[in-house]
Amino acid sequence: MEEARRIQALPPYLFARIDEKIAEAKAKGVDVISLGIGDPDLPTPDHIIDKLVKAARNPVNHRYPSYAGMLEFRQAVAEWYKRRSNIVIDPQKEVVSLIGSKEGIAHIAFCYLNPGDIALIPDPGYPVYGVGTALAGGVPYALPLKEENGFLPELDRIPEEIAHKAKLMFLNYPNNPTGAIADESFYMKVIAFAKKYDIIICHDGPYSEIAFNGYKPLSFLEVPGAKDVGIEFHSMSKTYNMTGWRIGWAAGNARVIEALGRIKSNIDTGVFQAIQEAAIEGLLGNQDIIGENRKIYQERQDIVIEGLTALGWTVESPKATIYVWPRVPKGFTSASFCELVLDKTGVVITPGNSYGEYGEGYFRISLTTNTKRLREALQRLQDNFGKFEF
């Protein structure tokens, strides 16, 4: 039962490994507070659940769904972008449904990478960009995201021969794990770069609706020329508290959407239509949840920033996302710090190096835990460590 080479070096998914550590600690009787995975603890809005319940009873929905997604779902996505950013998207040709955006992010590599082709991936970055690339036989080339550059990649530092061999570039703003944001001038440079080297941009934007103090993140698709060079991955997960439902989409360049849809139609059969109907309700129905989530995450972010400051950190409040990305204290690596914190306090934080080499020296706090538990987590740090040195 020898495994294929492509998976021999593949570890279990980052958060599957962290889940194991949590299970081990719980088995020892530790009261674990997980600030690990970015999995909203808040419920999906009732009107979306009600729609699911109704749609699940309709036998029409018990049959195979359409491969690209119901036209009504794709229309709802197009309408959502129109309302949000006044972008015109053709629901017939420029949208495909996904079983969560993670699935599409992994499969896009199979559409465009021949063995040895390069995909430019942000480092630190969501692990799926690199894993999808490697599984497809491609070679991930890291774009360092450094704090001094606002965690934006420096495109002019990409060697010419790498740029010529690159077929895909993954980007993700508001950014996981750093919480950084990107403005239009950055995206304009990205689009010019993509045109010059014939690179497809895969922008991953699941955190676009979680922003603070009136800041409104750009959708990549609203930047002039974006649709000429790429697509945007999006999902119901973080905006509507629907990580468990597994529904997302890709939208943008029609040729890329067609290719992604073609590979998917051969290996999966789409999303349960009742879930698509519920997602339509989410996208076009009452949007109060977006403001409510922002308020909740803002309060949590304030608690974390305040708590970290009291512990000796100097850390800026991210303008968006559900994450905070502080440096580890003096004398620690990302892994040694996160291990010590778990051992001493039962608090799970994610080591920055699990997002890539350039994540070393940082750790990530996810704000997907209620204020009481967040306060308790910070109190446990205080009780065990007092102040840290940097």
Which secondary structure element, helix H or strand E, spans residue 16, and what is its range? helix 14-27
Report the nearest approach of ligand MLT to the CB of residue 197 (Å): 29
Following DSSP, what letter does each residue of 297-334 receive, concatenated?
HHHHHHHHHHHHHHTT---PPPSBSSEE-PBPPTT--H
Spatial CA neighbour of 191 closest among 147, 222, 145:
222
* 311-318 contact pairs (CB < 8 A, 24+): 311/378, 311/381, 311/382, 311/385, 311/386, 311/387, 311/388, 312/387, 312/388, 312/389, 312/390, 313/388, 313/390, 314/390, 317/212, 318/174, 318/178, 318/179, 318/180, 318/212
Residue 4 main-chain phi, psi, to 5 deg: -65, 150
Question: 38 or 140: whose CB is closer to ligand MLT?
Answer: 38
Question: 244 or 291: whose CB is closer to ligand MLT?
Answer: 244
Q: What is the Cα Rg of the chain in Å? A: 21
Report the nearest approach of ligand MLT to the CB of residue 235 (Å): 9
Residue whose tokens read 């350039």: 358
Question: 40 or 65: whose CB is closer to ligand MLT?
Answer: 40
Contact 56, 373 (CB under 8 A): no
Question: 15 or 67: whose CB is closer to ligand MLT?
Answer: 15
Maximum Cα–Cα distance across the chain: 62
Report the nearest approach of ligand MLT to the CB of residue 224 (Å): 30
Report the nearest approach of ligand MLT to the CB of residue 126 (Å): 6
Report the nearest approach of ligand MLT to the CB of residue 191 (Å): 26
Sign, CA torsion 130/364/362/341: negative
DSSP state of 346: -
Report the nearest approach of ligand MLT to the CB of residue 15 (Å): 6
Q: How far apart are CA 359 and CA 233, in angstroms?
A: 23
Question: 178 or 253: whose CB is closer to ligand MLT?
Answer: 178
Question: 191 or 320: whose CB is closer to ligand MLT?
Answer: 320
Which residue number has the CB closest to ligand MLT?
Answer: 38
Question: 68 or 105: whose CB is closer to ligand MLT?
Answer: 105
Report the nearest approach of ligand MLT to the CB of residue 154 (Å): 24
Report residue 297 as tokens.
């995450």
For the beta carbon of residue 357, count every other beta carbon within 10 angstroms. 11
Report the nearest approach of ligand MLT to the CB of residue 279 (Å): 17
Q: How far apart are CA 173 and CA 171, in angstroms?
A: 7
Question: 253 or 293: whose CB is closer to ligand MLT?
Answer: 293
Question: Footprint of ligand MLT on this chain (CB under 6 A)?
Answer: 15, 37-39, 102, 176, 366
Question: 15 or 212: whose CB is closer to ligand MLT?
Answer: 15
In the beta sheet, which residues pair with residue 324?
Answer: 365
Contact 280, 95 (CB under 8 A): no
Question: 37 or 290: whose CB is closer to ligand MLT?
Answer: 37
Three-state secondary-structure class, residue 169 = strand
Report the nearest approach of ligand MLT to the CB of residue 97 (Å): 17
Report the nearest approach of ligand MLT to the CB of residue 220 (Å): 19
